[in-house]
């Protein structure tokens, strides 16, 4: 399952930084630098990477993987890091809250009915069954 976490392959990374310089999240937040995360992993500081909130900022757009001159699958490595973080129960509080809201309402951001009413829009009621409906529709589309 964790084949992309192969530290042997990571030895081919020569820290050129092309992955980070093409990353949209890096443009918004300079602290997010995929090449540094790979460096930590290759040095064996995997726990440090898993415990960091940084891995959750990636949008999995694959730009870094496409730009890497060494063919290193940076996005997949970050995915793997997330999977390992979940397995080790290192999940940021905010994401746990978002997951609960998503399961309860089918939305990541709760509906602000006060704002809707101020704008002349009708209130939208929370529907606890909305997630079940999403799964039902997805099942039919298979
Ligand atoms: S682009 Fe590839 S070789 Fe360069 S730092 Fe990123 S992973 Fe390493
Ligand atoms: S996949 Fe993640 S790390 Fe790579 S460029 Fe996109 S946002 Fe950045």
pLDDT at residue number 106: 76
Domain boundaries, the chain: 3-87, 93-141
Q: Which residues line ligand 2 (CB under 6 A)?
A: 23-25, 34, 58-64, 74-75, 78
pLDDT band at 2 (very low <50, low <70, confident <90, very high): very low
DSSP sequence for 47-64:
HHHHHSGGGGG-----HH
User: pLDDT, tens digit, for every residue of 16-64?
Assistant: 999 999 999 999 999 999 999 999 999 989 999 999 999 999 999 999 9
pLDDT at 72 over 90: yes
Of the candidates 58, 59, 56, 38, the residue with the CA atom closest to the CA atom of residue 92: 56
- Token reading at 60: 């999995």
Asked if residues 41 and 47 have their Cβ atoms less than 8 Å apart, the reply is no
Q: Does domain 3-87 have CATH number 1.10.1060.10?
A: yes
Average pLDDT, the chain: 88
Interior angle at CA 57, CA 53 and CA 61, nearest 5: 150
Q: Cα–Cα distances in Å, from 42 out to 6, 24, 47, 50?
A: 9, 24, 12, 13
pTM for this entry? 0.78
Average pLDDT over residues 119-139: 79
Average pLDDT over residues 85-93: 92
Q: Cα–Cα distances in Å, from 119 out to 22, 55, 94, 113, 123?
A: 39, 37, 28, 10, 11
Q: Which ligand is nearest to the CA of 78?
A: 2
Determine the Cα–Cα distance for residues 66 and 24; give it in Å rounded to an integer.
14
Burial class (CB in 10 A: 0-12, 13-18, 19+), 138: exposed
pLDDT at 132 over 80: no
Query: Ligand 2 pocket check: which of 59, 67, 76, 77 to mutate, most ligand atoms within 8 Å of Cβ?
Result: 59
């Amino acid at each position: 399952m964790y084949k992309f976490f192969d530290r042997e392959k990571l030895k081919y990374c020569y820290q050129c930084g092309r992955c980070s310089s093409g990353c949209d999240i890096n443009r918004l937040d300079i602290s997010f630098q995929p090449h540094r995360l790979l460096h930590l992993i290759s040095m064996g500081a995997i726990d440090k990477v898993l415990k960091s909130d940084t891995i959750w900022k990636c949008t999995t757009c694959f730009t870094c993987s496409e730009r890497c001159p060494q063919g290193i699958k940076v996005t997949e490595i970050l995915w793997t890091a997330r999977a390992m973080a979940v397995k080790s129960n290192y999940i940021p509080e905010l994401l746990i809250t978002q997951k609960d809201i998503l399961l309860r309402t089918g939305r990541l951001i709760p509906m602000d009915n006060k704002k809707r009413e101020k704008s002349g829009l009708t209130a939208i009621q929370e529907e606890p069954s909305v997630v079940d409906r999403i799964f039902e529709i997805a099942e039919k589309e298979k």
